[in-house]
Amino acid sequence: MIQHALASQDGVILPILQTDLAIDAIHGQWLCEFGAIYHNHQRVRSAEVAVKKGDYLRVHSLPRRFPVAQIDWKSCVIAETADFVVINKPFGVPTHATVDNLFENAAHQTSLALQTATHVTHRLDVATSGVLFLAKTKEMQKAFNLALKNGRVEKTYLAKVAGSLQQTGIVEHYMESSNYLPKRVSKTPVEAWQQCLLEILQVQFDARDNTSQVDIRLITGRTHQIRAQMAELGHPIIGDKIYGGQDPWDKIEQIELRARSLKFQVDSCEHFYSLKD
């Protein structure tokens, strides 16, 4: 639920939330600390922020929550160096802060568990699990992002999809540039749509449940790319209700898609990390 208001008076934000949006002081204090309130389009971090009459306020009064307390974040660590940490991100948790929740995400929880700063370099969807790289320094964040830009990062995924997938090799689609979900893709080029490329490396069909296990190498990294492309092929990922998958999740977002391995080259050093099957 999102509430909007133009401040009716000068003052600090908390009493104005009470008078203008009927948000009680305790809940308002918590929302401020949680990162669920915006003042003139800037996230508020304190209930003492000064507000002027006519200022714009946006309040996410019921922030989306994620099950971070149920996870042993230290046990998620695959590798750690002085410059970065690689984790196995659990499903059901975002990579980074969301618009209404600063703290319940993989980057922040890893930072707390290891008592070190973490910086996001790439992301996995909330419902996707697997290998995730977090930089410990701004320098490493910049170096990894440069490696991404220059094609020196390779990611593979393991997906379980509906039906008997027969196709292997390079798969090409074009994705609409939009913030809306589900993402729309086309098999043929569309003006201003982004090219999406992945490679299906291997497929194993399981007749017991009519599903296929698919090894995928991601070539371009669009939002929801694998999910949208597999659905367009007629083989949506199991559990992916956004794209027509079977057996949707119950309380925690989970689809049968894992980031299986990550290989990258930074400063002439090559690194490789993967999940244990």
Residue appearing with tokens 């190498």: 217
Query: What are the structure tokens assigned to 37, written together?
Result: 């309130």
Q: Which one, of 116, 93, 115, lies nearest residue 106 by Cα?
A: 93
Coil, strand or helix at 112? helix
Residues 6+ apart with CB under 8 A from 141: 119, 120, 121, 135
What is the 8-class DSSP label of residue 70? G
Q: How far apart are CA 229 and CA 210, in angstroms?
A: 19
What is the SS3 assignment for 4? strand
So which residues are the catalytic ones?
125
Look up tokens 């499903």; give the residue.
91
Before 182, cis peptide (omega within 30)? yes
Copy the structure tokens of residue 156. 């593979």
Output DSSP code: residue 242.
G
